[in-house]
Structure 1
């Protein structure tokens, strides 16, 4: 399918879905001033072309600690000419949720959600270290997620519109996770706007049971919805990873401050030679330099140890991407709800 050009109404629709991913077309139309039919048609066109999609991921921000969840950033070096083949091989691994191809002192930056520290150790020792021709593997366990891609929003909505879309958040339910709930979570991750009728068909359930199941899974609070856009259509085409060293007493304060920056897509505390890793989307290199100056000039004691410009992302939170950044496939995680509230 031909790559569509996105207009202002398309971007406003994506921005609205980032605020309230499962709002009805009628609710969205009342805020955006377009008919529900028009909005549904626009979304169908964009999602079919892979330039925008709605998914769900384990809610790593629900707790203060990432320990025990098997979450890590992994840096890899590979010989010249083997980056793309090895990235394609790794993209099939369910626990490797995001793969960035980068310039600089590493070739690949992987985001791993293994579910437990034991599973992470097995993945690193038995799969990643065993990949042929890999030169080096450096893993950095994530101890806390301050912000993730689900928090990043396109501009284009007024504060009033955002307030009208903001959903009331109820207390998470304490439903015991069952294999059927995990299966439903996998379908929700495949399509964050899956309907009860579609879920009933996918899981061979009665419509009423599918509606109840959908409410149970969403109500756990263990899923975090993400409305994504192909980066080249976002207005922020440049992606960069920063690796920071911070004074231990200031780490939380620094991370929370960086998390408020518009360009920040992910801010995580890690164990290793760095303390914080930051993923940012910017409009151009001038924004990169401005952000670096902001970090170093306004946050005493913080040192940018290294940076890596992303040349291409081949997988983003389970979604396989082509060389234009459009979604072309999906590799679900082994589990989305396992382990209780996280």
Structure 2
């Protein structure tokens, strides 16, 4: 089980994914060898993992892709087999078990609206054990997981780490950046020396390009962890009907809630979907009460409880929410016509 120092280290790497242990040691006032040992223990036990991917600068989803939340209903006793098939599919970013008339919901990204429609019909609906689907298209993503922070550091430590992080974004997306991002896709802390032979470039050029993509708004760097081992026992999805004049204020309020991991406008009877992490189900009552008091015109159209996440941002997870395997993220779908 992670302790306070582990949480500080994870939080620090969320802010500056490639901070050196010597730099972090000065911020935390801890010996760098201790930090290195702790990080190795966390990653080797599969409690912490990292990823990065190219994305849309504004929405925070992979570049040029359309995203949707897809409900999946399963035949009795077939949910496990359906999960095993769906987690292997590249366009399926996440797979969550949930409550209500659906058994699962998926976060999927493809290159066009038409390919999303076809993908759900031809690749999801036909999986043995799937009895039905329902698609909610995401329009604007206001909050997404790569920006979520543990909040284990004080304001001074956060400011110090942000100052250390490269802040000069590249003027354009050079072709050389793509293989670099792919090489860092499952370990954002790989050294330039480790990447030299793989990329066929000098250490100095690789180091320069790493700094460039670290500062780029169109690359997302994520540090994820086994949430159940760190105290979050469940998740929930709230489907809100928000009057459009109040949408910006509601989203601004949701940004202040540490529970919120994802928030986006959607199609359907609700126009805002909010994904929450919960330490217990009572937290959901508190959040709903706060919303009701602050925004009496907002209506909760539905609420889904999420007892298990089987896949998150390309990583399949076990029952303890440790990572098991990585499935490369890919929204480019080829259909046989």
With normalisation by structure 2, the TM-score equals: 0.90
Inter-partner Cα distance in structure 2 for 1:137 and 1:83: 14
| 2:231 matches 1:235 | yes
| 2:169 matches 1:172 | yes
Deviations 1:221-272 (A, max 9, x none): 2111111111112222221111111112222221222122111111111112
2:185 equivalent in structure 1: 189
2:283 equivalent in structure 1: 287
1:220 equivalent in structure 2: 216
- Do 1:173 and 1:221's aligned partners in 2 also have CA atoms closer than 8 Å? no
2:51 equivalent in structure 1: 55
1:144 equivalent in structure 2: 140
| 2:111 matches 1:107 | no
2:267 equivalent in structure 1: 271
Inter-partner Cα distance in structure 2 for 1:335 and 1:33: 43
2:35 equivalent in structure 1: 39
Deviations 1:60-100 (A, max 9, x none): 56359999621111111111211111111111111111111
1:9 equivalent in structure 2: 5
2:75 to 76, 79, 85: 79
Structure 1 residues 273-282 or 57-66, which shifts more? 57-66
Aligned length: 331
- Do 2:166 and 2:215's aligned partners in 1 also have CA atoms closer than 8 Å? no
- Flag the 1:155–1:176 CA change in 2: closer, same or farther, 3 A: closer
1:339 equivalent in structure 2: none
Deviations 1:283-303 (A, max 9, x none): 212211101111122112111
Inter-partner Cα distance in structure 2 for 1:177 and 1:106: 43
**Where in structure 1 are there 5+ consecutive unaligned residues?**
337-342
**3-state SS of paired residue (2:13):** helix
Inter-partner Cα distance in structure 2 for 1:83 and 1:98: 15
**Where in structure 2 are there 5+ consecutive unaligned residues?**
333-337
Inter-partner Cα distance in structure 1 for 2:267 and 2:53: 23
- Do 2:233 and 2:279's aligned partners in 1 also have CA atoms closer than 8 Å? yes
Inter-partner Cα distance in structure 2 for 1:92 and 1:325: 17
Q: How does 1:188-337 map to 2 (within 5 A)?
A: 188-334=184-330
Give RMSD over aligned pairs.
2.4
**3-state SS of paired residue (2:94):** strand
Inter-partner Cα distance in structure 2 for 1:289 and 1:273: 22
**3-state SS of paired residue (1:145):** strand
1:70 equivalent in structure 2: 66
With normalisation by structure 1, the TM-score equals: 0.89
Inter-partner Cα distance in structure 2 for 1:58 and 1:302: 34
- Flag the 1:217–1:156 CA change in 2: closer, same or farther, 3 A: closer
- Flag the 1:202–1:118 CA change in 2: closer, same or farther, 3 A: farther
Deviations 1:1-56 (A, max 9, x none): xxxx2122111111111222221111111111111121111111111111011222
- Do 1:296 and 1:304's aligned partners in 2 also have CA atoms closer than 8 Å? no
**3-state SS of paired residue (2:307):** strand
Inter-partner Cα distance in structure 2 for 1:67 and 1:56: 13
Inter-partner Cα distance in structure 2 for 1:217 and 1:64: 15
